[in-house]
Structure 1
Amino acid sequence: MIHASQMTFFLIGCAASLALLTLIVFEKVKVKTPKSPKPQDKREYYSKPVITRFETKMFQRLKNALPDHHVLAQVAFSSLITSDYMPTRNKFNRKVTDFVILNKHLDVVCIIELDDPTHHGKEDEDAKRDAMLAEAGYTVLRYTSIPSIRQLQKDIL
């Protein structure tokens, strides 16, 4: 005959074993709850203007000053220069020029950099950028304000 204390001990042992077995199974299986989808207004990618308002004014001025030329904005250095050496390429890999002026034959006439107040304190970096482009044979013109049509024609033509 089984005593009540033995039965209690047996039931407690069974319950503990069942709890331990349940923990082991859940740990092995680990049910992953799916992440909730992003709300419609939480996009990963957003559009942004290609050029600033200041650059837009310069773009218009360049178009008016040079009607027989093409004005390209935000051109990657990698479209203008290259190198056989990857460490050298890495120096210009993510750099962009403000404007590239092309003649009717699509040859580069010059590169224009428009330095707004965010360029203060970056003169050394700007000089290195200019040196890269100059070594590749380009003329770089830098302006801190938008020049007149006459000044642009004088400088570029």
Structure 2
Amino acid sequence: MFTSIQTLFFIIGCLASSVLLLMLLQHLFWKRQQFYQKPLITAFEQKMFIRLNEALPEHHILAQVAFSALITSNHFKIRQQFNRKVTDFVVLNRDMKVIAIVELDDPSHIGKEDEDQQRDAMLTEAGYTVFRYTSIPSARELRKDLL
């Protein structure tokens, strides 16, 4: 027959085994969240978005627009070059025509100047005008540049 100490060890062993089994099989009992919200634009980009709207109230400002919404190619390999790229802001006139693309370079762009030039070249070749800023210009400067 079991002594009280043996019974205690048996119960502890059963509990530890149950916890271990639950940890190993938890994905069967509880679904883990796979998707999470994230901010659409950074705080720095939010300031630029507000400034663009102040400067160009008669225009539409779009944020985080995929290159694939702006350019295309008949060649799959060329499309792969811009497939996952996103531009910061697109400025549309009342007729929904793109009048400018605005890129805002924060410190994360340091050392990526060549990549930025390639991105700009793609958009320019497609017929867009790209404006790149490292700081947020005044509303007056934006109107002067973009219009």
- TM-score band by shorter chain is 0.7 to 0.9
- Measured in 2, the distance between the counterparts of 1:35 and 1:129 equals 46
Is 1:110 equivalent to 2:127 in the alignment?
Answer: no
Pairing 1:99–2:89 present? yes
Q: Which residue of 2 aligns with 1:66?
A: 56
Q: Which amino acid aligns with 1:72?
A: L
- Which of the numbers 22, 25, 46 marks the counterpart of 2:36? 46
Count of residues in Structure 1 that have an aligned counterpart in Structure 2? 123
Report the RMSD for the aligned CA atoms in angstroms: 1.4
2:133 aligned partner: 143
What CA deviation, in whole Å up to 9, does each residue of 1:14-53 have, x standing for no partner? xxxxxxxxxxxxxxxxxxxx9323647x411100010000
Letter in 2 for 1:89: R
CA distance in 2, matches of 1:39, 1:56: 37
Q: Name the structure 2 match of 1:15.
A: none
Aligned mate of 1:84, from 56, 74, 85: 74
Q: What is the TM-score of this pair, normalised by structure 2? A: 0.81
Segments of 5+ residues of structure 2 without an aligned counterpart are 1-23
Q: C-alpha deviations, 1:106-130, integer Å up to 9, x for none?
A: 0000000000000000000000000
Match of 2:109 in 1: 119
**Any stretches of 5+ residues in structure 1 without a counterpart?**
1-33
| 1:35 match | 25
